[in-house]
Amino acid sequence: MNQLNKTNVKETAIYIHIPFCEHKCIYCDFYSIITKDNITSFLQALKKEISYYADLHSLDRIVTSIFFGGGTPSLMSPAYINEIIELVKKRFTIANDVEVTLETNPGTVEQIKLKEFKEIGINRLSVGIQSFDENELKFLTRIHNKQTAINTVLKAKGSGFKNISIDLIFNLPAQTKKIWMDNLITALSLPINHISTYSLILERGTILNKMVLDGKVKIQSDDYDADLYETTVDFLTQNGFYQYEVSNFAKAGFECRHNNSYWHYKDYFGFGTSAHSFINGRRYWNFSSLKKYIAEIEKNNFAVAGSESPSDEQRINEFVMLALRSSGISIERTNLLFGTRWLLENNNYLLKLESENYLSKQNGVIKLTKRGYTVCDEIIKNLT
């Protein structure tokens, strides 16, 4: 563990992409592979990559969160995940209250395995449920059913996890408001502290996108999507959760620290296949192919497929987009990072939005209102 210069410490997040999965769902565009070949080779490559970047960047950084995503990282053994955690702890300075999240899917972990994950330092579990409705689960080609999803959350609680998040998708084809409300009601009957609700997005290259293009599936209207979104916000905020980002709701103190690092424009390392990094103002992304990733690591100790340094205009646009989607635009921080030009150029539009109750300005922070969140993308487009 490194000694820090405490006057100039950079809070940094670490994302680790484990690409192995049991099944590719029709809507998923994340890089994943069904085979478990190369699991050992991938681990060795991943450890080389982590060590390489630690040698370059570990001084004067403190890791505040580690997030295992995929794929389905919970398919790996606790010993496998522990090797990665221990290496990160050895090569980087870790915050005492570091958040360590593991993504899992219902039906892929039993209670004894969950307990072992807890024992190695996983302190936050993110469960990809997506729906509790049996017909929706079949449509999404998920491999679990409603009861399995419920049992997974209950087993996590029984294993000692105090920080449990779930994901749900709304505006699925043929989804009625009653079906969606039943999903939310079931979710809040469970011992969770955080919920992410995402509108269904058609991603290029997915099976679902092709089904829509072929006319086999019909997507519902934008107006209906907005109606379900408003229903979601109202229901969750009236039942003990507060909205801290467009799609994310938490009980007090259970916001996802890792995601907040992205939204607050902090540095982050991305290790593993297809992972992205943002370090010292420069963006990097790894090769997606597992074989290519392993080969590049063996040759170079890194597997960067490309990189870019965003222009000043790109940086302010990204900052505005991320800030508006979450805790709001701090006028002081914006001026500090980018000068006063952006605020001066957009002042009239911001005043118009404020007068129409799309945003509010309090304590030097410009935030979207509930009404503003429903047209968030349009507002961001006009501001960037």
- Domains in the chain: how many in total? 2
Instruction: Tell whether 178 is covered by a domain.
Output: yes
CA angle (125, 129, 131) in 5-degree steps: 155
CATH number at residue 246: 3.20.20.70
Please check whether residues 226 and 319 belong to one and the same domain. no
Whole-angstrom Cα distance, residue 273 to residue 50? 13
- Sorted by sequence, the CB contacts under 8 Å of residue 253 that are 6+ apart come out as none
Domain residues for 372? Answer: 312-383
CATH number at residue 328: 1.10.10
Please check whether residues 354 and 233 belong to one and the same domain. no
| 3-state secondary structure labels for all residues of 274-304 | CCEEEECCEEEEECCCHHHHHHHHHHHCCCE
Instruction: Tell whether 278 is covered by a domain.
Output: no
At 251, give phi and psi (nearest 5°). Answer: -75, 155
pLDDT category of residue 27 using cuts at 50, 70 and 90: low
Instruction: Tell whether 185 is covered by a domain.
Output: yes
Contact between residue 184 and residue 236 where contact means Cβ atoms under 8 Å apart: yes
Q: What is the mean pLDDT of the segment spanning 234-241?
A: 97
What would the pLDDT profile of 300-344 be if each residue is shown by its tens digit?
A: 999 999 999 999 899 999 999 999 999 899 999 999 989 999 999
Instruction: Tell whether 256 is covered by a domain.
Output: yes
- Going by their DSSP bridges, the two strands 276-279 and 304-308 should be labelled as unpaired
Instruction: Tell whether 229 is covered by a domain.
Output: yes
Contact between residue 247 and residue 236 where contact means Cβ atoms under 8 Å apart: no
Task: Look at residues 248, 250, 270, 282 and name the one whose alpha carbon lies nearest to residue 66.
Answer: 270
Please check whether residues 257 and 327 belong to one and the same domain. no
What would the pLDDT profile of 30-75 be if each residue is shown by its tens digit?
A: 656 666 778 999 999 999 999 999 999 988 899 999 999 988 999 9
Task: Look at residues 67, 60, 124 and name the one whose alpha carbon lies nearest to residue 93.
Answer: 60
Whole-angstrom Cα distance, residue 259 to residue 255? 8
pLDDT for 34:
63
Q: How far apart are the first and last CA of the chain?
A: 41
Task: Look at residues 338, 219, 213 and name the one whose alpha carbon lies nearest to residue 281.
Answer: 338
